[in-house]
Chain A
Amino acid sequence: MLHKRLIPVFLLRGDRLVKGTRFENHVDVGDPLSQAMIYDAQGADELVIVDIDATREGRVIPPAVIETMIRRCRLPIAAGGGIRTIEDARSVFHAGADKVVVNSAAAERPGLVRELADEFGEQSVVVSMDVRKGPDGRYVVYTHSGTTPAEGDLDALVERMGAEGAGEILVTSIDHEGTLLGFDVELYRRLRPLISTPMIASGGVGTYDHLVEVFERSDCDACGIGKMLFLRDYDIVRIKAYLHGRHVDVRDA
């Protein structure tokens, strides 16, 4: 059966990787190629790399960074940052990415997802959504790296993305991101029935048990991992060993 996936999430700023807390106060965590090779060697299942300034600066993630990673790594790479059109996506695929990640542009115009799915295949399109929980307990989607609230109800937007042909959906809790205090498990439990595609949970993981909990309680298909890998003493090998011990089906490292 399909294994659960562990996916290091790379946030690209310029030509360096960074990590923040709740989308702020980013610190440098290394260069993309070295980090990609490290996680490939450790048996990560996939990599996601997103240029976090691309949308705000009106450009697309530079192909060169993707090309260098593809040259040396033998695992799937999903890349995003500023993708608004089919041609933007094509430049990312030509650089070697296996999937494109769309965020702000998809929230603003979900029809883009259908266009990308029709052109490149649904399996190649990852819709990424960043959410915050408001004081009234409602989740709000934010675009442009967490700066701009999007219109509409989260549940309806997720269903819409599924209808438009998203291959996978990646949902990041901004409130939990970088805190190492655990995933927003209730968020994923709530969204799971709304979309039949694979779902990637991201934001907040800090311990082995956080991973066990989110897989067991939300039936998500994959987890994005950030600070726990980059700024703490965890690695994919030991994470997978622990998960196996807790009967979570991940592929051997």
Chain B
Amino acid sequence: MTDVAIIANGGANIASLRFALDRLGASSHLTADVDELRSAPRVILPGVGAAADAMERLHSLGLAAAIPTLTQPVLGICLGMQLFATVGYEDGETPGMGWIPGEVRLMEDSSVRIPHIGWDHIESRDDELFARMRSNDFYYMHSYRFIPDDPGVVAATTTYGGLEIVAAVRKDNIFGVQFHPEKSQGDGLRLLRNFVEAACCTNA
């Protein structure tokens, strides 16, 4: 049974994520300990709420510097993915972990409703992360989006009005999704399973 370490960054409610992983037959535990994170087969960084608060917590836990040194598969969910960026512009400027260069900006498009809330369709560029999907629809709840410097890291996109939102990223051992797989019924569970079973990368 694969064990997943979920980064305890306050803020985010992780109950649904833990129950989803449990349903997949993966064990999980919450931790902020760097050594535990280094040795965990998989790591997930969840996140809801404000980027500034989340980064402050990660810094105070010594994790902002440690997370980018991890070599096993790491999944950032929603705000968790956005914290991988170089900088976010939510409340002024908040430096992220700079793990995937890029920025996080407010979505602006007068032809669609912001926040972007509900089930939306993704176009996948990654057959491993999105293997075995039934409908490729996932649940979004966000006002900000991640714009990576290198388009090569984009693993999936969602078209929303005139915006092509980055739905997922993948770079080496780093995975990120803007939507909430733990809230996306069958396909969400399948995505989490694909992450848990990812064949790449191990702990160094």
Please list the residues of chain A having a beta carbon within 8 angstroms of any beta carbon in chain B.
Answer: 1-3, 5, 40, 43, 45-46, 67, 70-72, 74-76, 93-99, 119-124, 167-168, 196-198, 221-222, 251-252
Helix, strand, loop or mixed for chain A's interface? loop
Report B-chain residues with C-beta under 8 Å of the C-beta of A196: 113-114
Instruction: Evaluate contact between B117 and A251: CB separation under 8 angstroms.
Output: no
In the complex where A74-B16, A197-B113 touch, is A2 in contact with B185 (Cβ < 8 A)? no
Please tell me if B48 contacts chain A, counting CB pairs below 8 Å: yes
Looking at the complex, which of B59-67, B68-76, B139-147, B194-202 is the stretch in contact with chain A? B139-147
Say which residue of A2, A67, A251 sits within 8 Å of B112 (CB atoms).
A2
Contact-residue bracket for chain B: 35 or more
Report A-chain residues with C-beta under 8 Å of the C-beta of B117: 123, 167-168, 198, 221
In the complex where A71-B19, A196-B114, A221-B118 touch, is A76 in contact with B183 (Cβ < 8 A)? yes
Instruction: Evaluate contact between B113 and A74: CB separation under 8 angstroms.
Output: no
Instruction: Give 1 or 0 for each of B1-42: 1 = CB within 8 Å of chain A CB.
Output: 000000000000101100110010000000000000000000
Report A-chain residues with C-beta under 8 Å of the C-beta of B16: 70, 74, 96, 98
Instruction: Evaluate contact between B118 and A45: CB separation under 8 angstroms.
Output: yes
In residues 103-136 of chain B, which contact A (Cβ within 8 Å)? 112-121, 134-135
Please tell me if B188 contacts chain A, counting CB pairs below 8 Å: yes
Instruction: Evaluate contact between B118 and A2: CB separation under 8 angstroms.
Output: yes
In the complex where A122-B115, A198-B113 touch, is A70 in contact with B19 (Cβ < 8 A)? yes
Give bound CA distance, A197 to B188, whole Å.
25
Residue of A nearest to B53 (CB): A119
Nearest Cβ in chain A — how far from B121, in angstroms? 7
Please list the residues of chain B having a beta carbon within 8 angstroms of any beta carbon in chain A.
Answer: 13, 15-16, 19-20, 23, 48-50, 112-121, 134-135, 137, 139-143, 159-160, 180, 182-186, 188-189
In the complex where A40-B185, A45-B119, A251-B137 touch, is A221 in contact with B143 (Cβ < 8 A)? no
The 3 closest A-B pairs by CB, nearest first: A123-B115, A96-B15, A123-B141
Instruction: Evaluate contact between B183 and A75: CB separation under 8 angstroms.
Output: yes
Give bound CA distance, A98 to B13, whole Å.
8
Instruction: Evaluate contact between A96 and B143: CB separation under 8 angstroms.
Output: no
Report B-chain residues with C-beta under 8 Å of the C-beta of A96: 13, 15-16
In the complex where A70-B19, A98-B141, A121-B48 touch, is A222 in contact with B185 (Cβ < 8 A)? no
Instruction: Evaluate contact between B160 and A2: CB separation under 8 angstroms.
Output: yes
Give bound CA distance, A40 to B23, whole Å.
15
Give bound CA distance, A215 to B26, whole Å.
40
Instruction: Evaluate contact between B119 and A2: CB separation under 8 angstroms.
Output: yes
Give bound CA distance, A222 to B139, whole Å.
14
Say which residue of B112, B118, B137, B185 sits within 8 Å of A74 (CB atoms).
B185
Give bound CA distance, A90 to B121, whole Å.
30
Report A-chain residues with C-beta under 8 Å of the C-beta of B23: 74
Residue of B nearest to A222 (CB): B118
In the complex where A123-B117, A123-B141 touch, is A43 in contact with B185 (Cβ < 8 A)? yes
In the complex where A1-B160, A3-B119 touch, is A124 in contact with B141 (Cβ < 8 A)? yes
Report B-chain residues with C-beta under 8 Å of the C-beta of A93: 13
In the complex where A2-B116, A3-B118 touch, is A123 in contact with B142 (Cβ < 8 A)? yes
Report A-chain residues with C-beta under 8 Å of the C-beta of B186: 74
Residue of B nearest to A118 (CB): B50
Report A-chain residues with C-beta under 8 Å of the C-beta of B116: 2
Give bound CA distance, A45 to B185, whole Å.
9
Give bound CA distance, A45 to B135, whole Å.
13
Report A-chain residues with C-beta under 8 Å of the C-beta of B50: 121
Interface centre among A70, A98, A120, A123 (most CB of B within 10 A): A123
Nearest Cβ in chain B — how far from A81, in angstroms? 18
Residue of B nearest to A71 (CB): B19
Nearest Cβ in chain A — how far from B9, in angstroms? 14
Nearest Cβ in chain A — how far from B28, in angstroms? 14
